[in-house]
């Protein structure tokens, strides 16, 4: 009987000694991590995932921030950080810690908003729109027109140096394509 109790106690202690697995870190859209910079690199692809991967490959890197084209010059910029600094809300950027990858998080419960997705073709109207991370003005324009089925918001700087944000209203359902330039949504 003593052996049984000893085995049970040993097993219980072993289970309790295993550290809980933390939830995976996520990159966060709309946040910067000011400070701790040791390098900045022009990210020609304009893709925040390339910045996250650059940090993952660099032994010195602990965190990163990615600024969209047009925020600092005409290109996107990847900032590598030698320490994890506190995040600060700022629409300029996406930031994360090493190993986080990029999963642009949606604010609220709007599942109809597709972050990092372009829906090429089917355009019937396009116009410049205010710069905002969510493309809310573009979405509202589509919802206000009976003809509009899909909208795509292109972030400023992706259509060329100094280019402003642009909204494309579409009357044809098109397949989604992963592109960091864009935010899209299906309305009807």
Q: Total domain count for the chain? A: 2
Range of the domain at 131: 113-186
Are 133 and 77 within one domain?
no
- Whether residues 87 and 129 fall in one domain: no
What is residue 73's predicted lDDT score, i.e. its pLDDT?
80
Phi, psi of 38 (to 5 degrees): -125, -10
**pLDDT value at position 110?**
53
Q: What is the pLDDT of residue 66?
A: 93
CA proximity to 62, closest of 31, 37, 90: 37
pLDDT at 188: 87
Please report the pLDDT score of residue 12 as a whole number: 42
Note the pLDDT of residue 6.
46
- Same domain (yes/no): 117, 175: yes
Q: Would residue 5 count as lying in a domain?
A: no
Q: Is the dihedral of CA 147, 151, 155, 158 positive or negative?
A: negative
Q: Note whether residue 160 is domain-resident.
A: yes
Q: Are 111 and 84 in contact (CB under 8 A)?
A: no
The radius of gyration of the chain from alpha carbons, rounded to an integer in Å, stands at 22
Q: What is the pLDDT of residue 18?
A: 40
**DSSP 8-state assignment for residue 161:** T
- What does the pLDDT read at residue 26? 64
In a domain, 157, yes or no: yes
pLDDT for res 72 = 80
Mean pLDDT by 10 residues, the chain (188 residues): 50 42 60 94 88 93 91 88 92 86 54 83 95 88 96 90 91 90 91
Q: Is the pTM of this model over 0.95?
A: no
In a domain? residue 17 = no
C-alpha 133 chain-centroid distance: 10
């Amino acid at each position: 009987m003593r052996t049984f109790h000893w085995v049970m106690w040993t097993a219980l202690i072993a289970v309790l000694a295993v550290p809980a697995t933390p939830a995976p870190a996520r990159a966060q859209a709309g946040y910067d991590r000011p400070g701790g910079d040791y390098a900045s690199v022009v990210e020609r692809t304009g893709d925040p995932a390339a910045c996250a991967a650059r940090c993952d490959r660099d032994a010195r890197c602990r965190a990163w921030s990615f600024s969209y084209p047009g925020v600092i010059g005409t290109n996107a910029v990847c900032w590598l950080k030698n320490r994890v600094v506190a995040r600060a809300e700022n629409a300029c950027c996406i930031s994360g810690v090493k190993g986080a990858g990029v999963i642009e998080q949606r604010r609220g419960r709007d599942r109809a908003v597709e972050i990092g997705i372009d829906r090429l073709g089917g355009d019937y109207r396009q116009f410049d729109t205010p710069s905002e991370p969510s493309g809310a003005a573009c979405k509202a324009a589509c919802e206000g027109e009976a003809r509009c089925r899909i909208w795509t918001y292109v972030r400023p700087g992706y259509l060329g140096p100094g280019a402003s944000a642009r909204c494309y209203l579409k009357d044809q359902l098109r397949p989604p394509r992963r592109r960091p330039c864009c935010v899209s949504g299906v309305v009807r």
